[in-house]
Structure 1
Amino acid sequence: MRINILQHTPNEGPGSILDWAQANGHQTFIYHPYQFGYLPTVDETDLLVILGGPMSPNDDLLWIKQERELIQELLNKDIPMFGACYGAQQIAKTLGYAISKAPAKEVGWGPVYRQSQIIPDIPEELVALHWHEEMFEVPKEAELLFSSDAVKNQGFVMNHRVVGLQFHFEPLADNVREMVVNDFPYIQGSIFNQTADDILETPVPDINRAIMFKILDFITADK
């Protein structure tokens, strides 16, 4: 399987998604469209991963619009997709749903609560890394997957092929350090009231990697 990964800032990489790809013998190709402007084609994509970034789907940038054209083509062909944060928002916007300011800025570690049992063996509560202040409207074609205390729309699943999460399960410890040391000013104003040191000193829950594997297994079943 060829996994095409769209990375949108140097400090938000694929983390445990690479572990899953390697464990399953898949090839990964990482694109940086914000810098180079290139995107994969539909025909060379077996799974698309759309990572987070500081931009908004509402920004009037050509490459952001071209990403949505690719997403629409993949949706038309029922090709699996996983979106994290901005990536989930891009999928929702492609489907015609709004991206708007969230009721609260969430940056740091915080709980999320499972709202659907469609993906087996996911606990009712997990602790994830949040790094956002916008949110998606859950597509009517999809099912609400996760919520947090402050933001209801934290995740969706659609057609057993698409999952979008507003937060992050994919970062490993090195990824968290990279996010914090490069983007620590963004922490200010978060409802979690955590410092950069608080975030760095919180161990990444081991289960998050396992849940990331479950999600990817789910959307690529029979592929």
Structure 2
Amino acid sequence: MRINILQHTPNEGPGSILEWVQLHGHQSYVYHPYQFGYLPQAAETDMLVILGGPMSPNDDLPWIKQERELIAQLLERDVPLFGACYGAQQIAKTMGYQVTDAPAKEVGWAPVYRQTETIPGLPEKLTALHWHQEMFEIPAQAELLFSSDRVKNQGFVLNHRVVGLQFHFEPQADNVREMVVNDFPYIKGSTLGQSAADILQTPVPPENQAVMFKILDYITQPK
């Protein structure tokens, strides 16, 4: 499979997703549309990963609209899609649903709770890295997948092919350090009350990679 990855800031990379790609013998192609303006073609995309970033789907930028055009084509073709944070918001907005301010700005480590057993083997509770202050509306065709104590709409699953998460399971320890040292001013005002040092000193839960792999396995399995 050709896995096309849309990365939207230097400090939010694919993390453990690349390990999954290599484990399965796939090929990954990482695009940086915010910098170079290029996107893959739908016909050359066997799976699309849309990562997080500091922008909003509501921003009036040509490449953001072009991303949604690509997402719409892939939804029509039933191609597997995974979106993290901004990426999940882009999927929801492509489907005609709103992206709005969340009830609380969440930056740091906090639990999320599984809301459906549609994806087999996911734990009832996990500790995820949050880095957001907006949230998506759950598409009517989708199921609520995760919620947190402060924000209900934390994840959705759609049609065995699409998963969007408002938070991050993909970062490994190096990725967390990169996020914090480059984007630490964003931590201010978070309802989680964690400092940069608090976030850095919290180990990445080993089960997060396992769950990330289960999600990617699920959306790429034959129906």
Q: Quote the residue 2:23 is aligned against.
A: 23
Q: For residue 173 of structure 2, what is the amino acid of its counterpart?
A: A
Q: How does 1:1-223 map to 2 (within 5 A)?
A: 1-222=1-222
CA shift, 1:107, in A, is 0.1
**In 2, Cα distance between equivalents of 1:56 and 1:173:** 26
**Aligned-partner SS, 1:58:** coil
Percent identity over the alignment?
77
CA shift, 1:222, in A, is 2.5
Per-residue CA shift, 1:57-108, capped at 9, x if unaligned?
Answer: 0000000000000000000000000000000000000000000000000000
**Aligned-partner SS, 1:110:** strand
Q: For residue 199 of structure 2, what is the amino acid of its counterpart?
A: I
Which runs of 5 or more structure 2 residues have no equivalent in the other structure?
A: none
**In 2, Cα distance between equivalents of 1:186 and 1:60:** 22
**Aligned-partner SS, 1:17:** helix
Aligned length: 223
Q: For residue 205 of structure 1, what is the amino acid of its counterpart?
A: P
User: TM-score, normalization: structure 2?
Assistant: 0.99
**In 2, Cα distance between equivalents of 1:32 and 1:50:** 11
Per-residue CA shift, 1:121-163, capped at 9, x if unaligned?
Answer: 1111000000000000000010000000000000000000000
CA shift, 1:198, in A, is 0.4
CA shift, 1:4, in A, is 0.1
**In 2, Cα distance between equivalents of 1:91 and 1:192:** 26
After superposing on structure 2, the runs of 4+ consecutive aligned residues of structure 1 that deviate more than 4 Å are: none
CA shift, 1:176, in A, is 0.1
**Aligned-partner SS, 1:70:** helix
**In 2, Cα distance between equivalents of 1:119 and 1:191:** 29
Q: For residue 67 of structure 2, what is the amino acid of its counterpart?
A: E
CA shift, 1:48, in A, is 0.1
User: TM-score, normalization: structure 1?
Assistant: 0.99
Aligned CA-pair RMSD = 0.7
**In 2, Cα distance between equivalents of 1:73 and 1:121:** 30
Per-residue CA shift, 1:144-197, capped at 9, x if unaligned?
Answer: 000000000000000000000000000000000000000000001111100000
**Aligned-partner SS, 1:11:** coil
Q: For residue 10 of structure 1, what is the amino acid of its counterpart?
A: P
**In 2, Cα distance between equivalents of 1:103 and 1:43:** 38
**Aligned-partner SS, 2:184:** helix
**In 2, Cα distance between equivalents of 1:92 and 1:34:** 20
